[in-house]
Amino acid sequence: MDQNKLDQTSPGSEQERLNARRRLLKGGLGLAPVSMTMVSRPVLAGTETCQGPTGFQSAPPSRVGATPSCTVGKCKGPDQWSGIAKSSYPNACGDRSFATAFNDNRKFSTLSLYKAIKNDFAAFPNESATDKAMARKLAAAYLNSLNGSTFPMSVTQVQQFWQGYLSKSYRPGGFGTTWTTTTQFQNYVNYVMTA
């Protein structure tokens, strides 16, 4: 077909088509805020949820329907995990070494997760009670994150937390103030492990 015939049969000029597209775009963008409002959820609707490590996550998240909670029974502290046979640990990781689980062998390199949960640090008499308590709680946090529970930290976040604890330099969620004291780490772990 001849290009001249196409130009003659096309409806309107090029300028008219551009104007029509602009009108369509303006109409669509004008309705976007209305559409977004119709499908949004209340931002602070949830209650009784485990909290994540960032400031933004510390507000209860928006949820539709029932709100999951650590108290439902899936998030466990070290004492609850201690009563479970290591063969029942998620991903069969009871015999996994603490160093392997946390990608860090600066402390407790030969300790198993199971022994950490059981508070069996006999092979590490020179380590501080504070470090042992933190390792025990983070071993439970690691198992919770593997367990598919509503625990607020992923495996990677738990690993990064331990590494940050050892180096005394951790920024929750990569934002905000860098934690540098043992107390800051303890307070947060005690907060999320209260189930």
Query: What are 172-193's pLDDT values in tens digits?
Result: 766 677 888 888 888 888 777 7
Query: What are 22-64's pLDDT values in tens digits?
Result: 887 776 666 655 555 544 444 433 333 444 444 444 444 444 4
Strand partners, 143: none
Query: What are 117-152's pLDDT values in tens digits?
Result: 999 999 998 999 999 999 999 998 898 888 876 777
pLDDT over 70 percentage in the chain:
65
Measured CA to CA, the distance from residue 60 to residue 166 in angstroms comes to: 29
Residues 6+ apart with CB under 8 A from 94: 85, 86, 87, 112, 113, 114
Instruction: Look up the pTM and report it.
Output: 0.60
Predicted pLDDT at 155: 87
Closest listed residue to residue 193, CA positions, set 102, 66, 79: 79
Predicted pLDDT at 92: 72
Where are the chain's structural domains?
3-39, 68-192
Predicted pLDDT at 175: 65
pLDDT at residue 103 above 70?
Answer: yes
Which residue type, as a one-letter code, is found at position 57? Answer: Q
pLDDT at residue 115 above 60?
Answer: yes
pLDDT at residue 66 above 60?
Answer: no
Per-residue pLDDT, averaged over 73-100, amounts to: 80
Closest listed residue to residue 48, CA positions, set 38, 61, 36, 35: 61
The string of DSSP letters for 107-168 reads S-TT-BHHHHHTT--TT-TTS-HHHHHHHHHHHHHHHHHHTT-S-SS-HHHHHHHHHHHHHT
Measured CA to CA, the distance from residue 169 to residue 161 in angstroms comes to: 9
pLDDT at residue 14 above 70?
Answer: yes
Question: Would you say 94 and 115 are in contact if contact means Cβ atoms under 8 Å apart?
Answer: no
Measured CA to CA, the distance from residue 91 to residue 79 in angstroms comes to: 20
Predicted pLDDT at 69: 43
